Chains A and B, each alone.
Chain A
Amino acid sequence: DSGVTQTPKHLITATGQRVTLRCSPRSGDLSVYWYQQSLDQGLQFLIQYYNGEERAKGNILERFSAQQFPDLHSELNLSSLELGDSALYFCASRGQGHKDTQYFGPGTRLTVL
């Protein structure tokens, strides 16, 4: 158990809908990273938050947004969903030391029908 939690585990929805994925980092970690993993692609970095502020952006679509709250949990919002958005979405958290590394949650499996 990495200490990172994600809810829900599975999400099935229809095209055009909006969903919210939730992540709670390990106790004491200020950084949260979001990744997308499709069947034919590896882990793609989406966005990073550090102590409530956006720190880095990757290949995140404009239809996607995220935020980190004062209690450090983070939410990833996906809107106007398309079939191609079906994937596993992982969050990871990281400590503050330069030698710290990322610990991943169990993921949310999103299926868009």
Chain B
Amino acid sequence: QKEVEQDPGPLSVPEGAIVSLNCTYSNSAFQYFMWYRQYSRKGPELLMYTYSSGNKEDGRFTAQVDKSSKYISLFIRDSQPSDSATYLCAMSALSGTYKYIFGTGTRLKVLA
């Protein structure tokens, strides 16, 4: 079993839809939860960062962490064609290395 599981998609939605992306994990030591967006053949770009549990909102993006269920989500409101990309979740334990474990990524396509 992988430490972090993420549905690879692809996920196709119409413009304006609400998108829900999810990851599950098995390591209860994870304390830091990140979402990165990666356009084709580019470097991952940090979207959202949450420490411990709870929700965080930034513009059209909302990140949720449910540590009791070992489940994190990223919601994108009013999705745009420019949101078409691969979304990677990443997690890290509270440790000296802050090594990240990444999900495999979900490919999202927003149709105009």
Q: How far is the CB of B85 from chain A (nearest CB, A)?
A: 14
Picked from A33, A56, A101, A107, the residue with its CB within 8 Å of the CB of B42 is A107
- Select B45's contact among A58, A100, A104, beta carbons within 8 Å: A104
Bound Cα distance from A98 to B100, whole angstroms: 13
A45 touches B43 (CB 8 A): no
B61 at the A/B interface (Cβ < 8 Å)?
no
How many A-B pairs with Cβ below 8 Å? 62
The CA of A58 and the CA of B51, in the complex, are separated in Å by 23
Q: Which A residues are CB-close (under 8 A) to B62?
A: none
With A43-B102, A55-B96 as known contacts, state yes or no: A88 contacts B46, CB within 8 Å: no
Q: Who on chain B is nearest to A105 by CB?
A: B43
The answer, yes or no, to whether B64 is at the interface (CB within 8 Å) is no
Q: Is the CB of B94 within 8 A of A98?
A: yes
* Residues of chain B contacted by A55 (CB below 8 angstroms): 96-97
Q: Is B75 an interface residue (CB 8 A)?
A: no
What count of chain A residues pass the 8 Å CB interface test? 28
Contacts of B101 in A (CB 8 A): 45
B104 touches A42 (CB 8 A): yes
User: CB-nearest residue of chain B relative to A47?
Assistant: B99
The yes or no answer to A2 lying at the interface (CB within 8 A) is yes
B88 touches which of A31, A41, A43, A44 (Cβ 8 Å): A43
- Does A106 lie at the interface of the complex (its beta carbon under 8 Å from any beta carbon of B)? yes
Decide: B34 and A101 in contact? CB cutoff 8 A: yes
A111 to chain B: closest CB distance in Å? 12
Interface residue ranges, B against A (CB under 8 Å): 6, 32, 34, 36, 41-46, 49, 51, 88, 90, 94, 96-105
